[in-house]
């Protein structure tokens, strides 16, 4: 295998080698079938939520508009990594071009950032609906909902733009091998010709802020929601409120919990195998689970899904 033992300008490197999940050919084909199935189910599940919200007039409310945007985001989030991973299972070289690597890096982290912001906005929407029910229609208007949606997308795609641009301009030396299934900052920085502590600190700081600010905002919102729900006199009202909020909290716990394991500390501190498993969980399996959580715990969504399935039968 050819290596680059002397400093090379980033523009002269033909690409990187994503090791992914090395193993015999039979295992690669088995993994290809497994992840192809997961990918298709993820597209179908999130696509069903988008269609249900679009076709059911009762779901044309801020809560479900945010959910439809979230599902749309999940489709692209999983698409930023899985198709390339599937191609690598069947590839002998497992090469990804330099531009392809950094495009994947940018879209994966931008979509992940947007997901954090959407989770915070969805918590804010639930806070207004439960803690300010009489004022909710005048506070959470369609106009405000559109502004919040646009803000999530814009902030998501701007959050990591500077560090990703800076890393892409660095010089890389020696081996092109990345022991991962995607282009991640930790393995990429390990291939640079010299240590860049400022960039590593910037990347870690931005990741920490991105995770903890929305997470603390979400937790604060749900503390206020819990206080309001406990004051509701009827058991049915409490159940409905807990059902609506429970699905969102489950998604927050799955996504934020697993991402915090990876990006609060520099990724180089983690074993490569652990990196892959944790990254698989929040980048592949969480988008698969989310539609199930929202569909099973939400009566309106279950009815809309049944109506949607009726359209196709």
Contact 108, 81 (CB under 8 A): yes
Give the domains, in start order, of the chain with CATH numbers: 15-309 (1.20.1070.10)
Q: Which residues contact 96 (CB under 8 A, 6 or more apart)?
A: 15, 16, 17, 18, 84, 88, 104, 183
- What crossing angle do the helices spanning 299-312 and 62-79 adopt, rounded to 10°? 70
Q: What is the pTM of this model?
A: 0.86
pLDDT at residue 49 above 70?
yes
Chain CA centroid to CA 284, Å: 9
CA–CA distances in Å: residue 68 to residues 60, 62, 104, 301, 304: 10, 10, 23, 11, 13
pLDDT in tens, 170-207: 888 877 889 889 998 888 888 888 877 888 888 888 88
- Token pair for 14: 């033909």
- CA pair distance 45, 197, nearest whole angstrom: 41
Q: Are 160 and 117 in contact (CB under 8 A)?
A: no
By the 10 Å C-beta count (0-12 exposed, 13-18 middle, 19+ buried), 267 is classed as buried
pLDDT digits (tens, 9 = 90+) for 126-178: 899 888 888 999 999 999 999 999 999 999 999 999 989 989 888 888 778 89
């Amino acid at each position: 295998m050819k290596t680059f033992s002397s400093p090379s300008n980033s523009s002269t490197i033909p690409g990187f080698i994503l090791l992914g999940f090395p193993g015999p050919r039979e295992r690669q084909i088995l993994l290809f079938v497994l992840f192809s199935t997961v990918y298709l189910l993820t597209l179908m599940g999130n696509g069903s939520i988008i269609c249900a919200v679009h076709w059911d007039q009762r779901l044309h409310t801020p809560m479900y508009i945010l959910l439809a945007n979230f599902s749309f985001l999940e489709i692209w989030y999983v698409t930023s990594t899985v198709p390339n991973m599937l191609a690598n299972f069947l590839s002998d070289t497992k090469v990804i071009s330099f531009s392809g690597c950094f495009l994947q890096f940018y879209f994966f982290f931008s979509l992940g950032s947007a997901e954090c912001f959407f989770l915070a906005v969805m918590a804010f929407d639930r806070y207004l609906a439960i803690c300010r029910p009489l004022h909710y229609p005048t506070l959470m208007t369609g106009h405000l909902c559109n502004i919040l949606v646009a803000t999530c997308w814009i902030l998501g795609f701007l959050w990591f733009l500077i560090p990703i641009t800076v890393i892409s301009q660095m010089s890389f030396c020696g081996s092109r091998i990345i022991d991962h299934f995607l282009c991640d900052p930790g393995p990429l920085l390990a291939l640079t010709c010299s240590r860049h502590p400022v960039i590593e600190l910037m990347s870690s700081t931005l990741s920490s802020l991105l995770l903890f600010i929305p997470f603390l905002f979400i937790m604060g919102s749900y503390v206020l929601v819990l206080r309001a729900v406990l004051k509701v006199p009827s058991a049915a009202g409490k159940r409905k409120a807990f059902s609506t909020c429970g699905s969102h909290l489950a998604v927050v716990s799955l996504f934020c919990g697993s991402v915090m394991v990876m990006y609060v500390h520099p990724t180089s501190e983690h074993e490569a195998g652990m990196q892959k498993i944790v990254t698989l969980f929040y980048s592949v399996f969480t988008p698969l689970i989310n539609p199930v959580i929202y569909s099973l715990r939400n009566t309106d969504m279950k009815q809309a899904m049944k109506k949607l399935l009726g359209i196709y039968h």
